[in-house]
Chain A
Amino acid sequence: MSKTFAIYRKELKTLFVSPLAYVVMGVFLGLTGYFFALILFNTREASMRYVFGNMAIILLLISPLMTMRAFAEEHRTGTDELLMTTPVTLWQIVLGKYFAVLTLFAAMLALSAEFPAILFRFGDPDLGPILGGYAGLLLMGAAFVAVGLFASSLTNNQMVAGIVAFGILLLLWLIEWAAGALGMASTKVFEALSILRHYNDFEKGVVDTVHVYYYFALVFLFLFLSIRSLETRRW
Chain B
Amino acid sequence: MVDVESVSKRYGRLNAVSGVTFSVKEGEILGLLGPNGAGKTTLMRIITGYLPATSGAVRVGGLDAFDHALKVKRRTGYLPEIPPLYNDMTVASFLRYVCELKGIPRKRRSECVAAAMEKAGVAAVAGRLVGNLSRGFKQRVGLAQALLGDPPLLILDEPTVGMDPRQIIEIRRLIQSLRGSHTVIFSSHIITEVSAVCERVVILNRGRVLAEGTHEELVKLAEGKGGDGAKREPRQWESTESLYARASGLENVFLRLTADDAQDDDGGGDAVE
Q: Are B86 and A85 in contact (CB under 8 A)?
A: no
The smallest C-beta distance from B49 to any residue of chain A, in angstroms, reads 6
The residues in B between 247 and 268 inclusive whose CB is less than 8 angstroms from any CB of A are none
Q: Are B73 and A86 in contact (CB under 8 A)?
A: yes
- Stretch touching chain B among A37-45, A75-83, A165-173: A75-83
- Is B243 an interface position by the 8 A CB rule? no
Q: Are A85 and B49 in contact (CB under 8 A)?
A: yes
Selected contact of B50 from candidates A3, A17, A79, A84, CB within 8 Å: A84
Q: Are A87 and B80 in contact (CB under 8 A)?
A: no
> Which single residue of chain A is at the shortest CB-CB distance from B94?
A10
The smallest C-beta distance from B41 to any residue of chain A, in angstroms, reads 10
Selected contact of A234 from candidates B52, B86, B101, CB within 8 Å: B52
- Is A6 an interface position by the 8 A CB rule? yes
- Is A2 an interface position by the 8 A CB rule? yes
Query: 1/0 per position for B61-83, CB-CB distance to A under 8 A?
Result: 00000000011011010101011
- Is B88 an interface position by the 8 A CB rule? yes
Q: Are B70 and A79 in contact (CB under 8 A)?
A: no
Q: Are B103 and A85 in contact (CB under 8 A)?
A: no
Q: Are A3 and B51 in contact (CB under 8 A)?
A: no
Q: With A3-B103, A87-B74 in contact, is A234–B80 under 8 Å at CB?
A: no
Q: Are A87 and B103 in contact (CB under 8 A)?
A: yes
Q: Are B78 and A79 in contact (CB under 8 A)?
A: no
Q: Are A3 and B101 in contact (CB under 8 A)?
A: yes
> Which single residue of chain A is at the shortest CB-CB distance from B83?
A78
Q: What number of residue pairs across chains A and B have CB atoms under 8 A from each other?
A: 67
Q: Are B86 and A88 in contact (CB under 8 A)?
A: no
Q: With A86-B73, A234-B51 in contact, is A79–B86 under 8 Å at CB?
A: yes
Q: How long is the Cα–Cα vector from A83 to B73 in the complex, in angstroms?
A: 11
Q: How long is the Cα–Cα vector from A79 to B88 in the complex, in angstroms?
A: 13
Q: Is the interface of A mostly helix, strand, loop or mixed?
A: helix
Q: Are B101 and A81 in contact (CB under 8 A)?
A: no
Q: Are A89 and B70 in contact (CB under 8 A)?
A: yes
- Is B100 an interface position by the 8 A CB rule? yes
- Is A14 an interface position by the 8 A CB rule? yes
Q: How long is the Cα–Cα vector from A86 to B80 in the complex, in angstroms?
A: 12
Query: 1/0 per position for A9-36, CB-CB distance to B under 8 A?
Result: 0100010011000000000000000000
- Is A122 an interface position by the 8 A CB rule? no
Q: Are B78 and A85 in contact (CB under 8 A)?
A: yes
Q: With A78-B80, A81-B84, A86-B102 in contact, is A10–B97 under 8 Å at CB?
A: yes
Selected contact of A86 from candidates B82, B86, B89, B98, CB within 8 Å: B98
Q: How long is the Cα–Cα vector from A108 to B259 in the complex, in angstroms?
A: 63
Between A and B, 23 residue pairs with Cβ closer than 8 Å are A6-B100, A6-B101, A10-B97, A14-B86, A14-B88, A18-B88, A77-B86, A78-B84, A79-B86, A80-B84, A81-B80, A82-B84, A82-B98, A84-B50, A85-B48, A85-B73, A86-B101, A87-B70, A87-B71, A87-B74, A87-B101, A87-B102, A234-B52
9 extra interface residue pairs, beta carbon distance < 8 Å, beyond A7-B101, A87-B71 = A2-B100, A3-B103, A14-B86, A77-B85, A82-B80, A85-B49, A85-B78, A85-B80, A234-B50
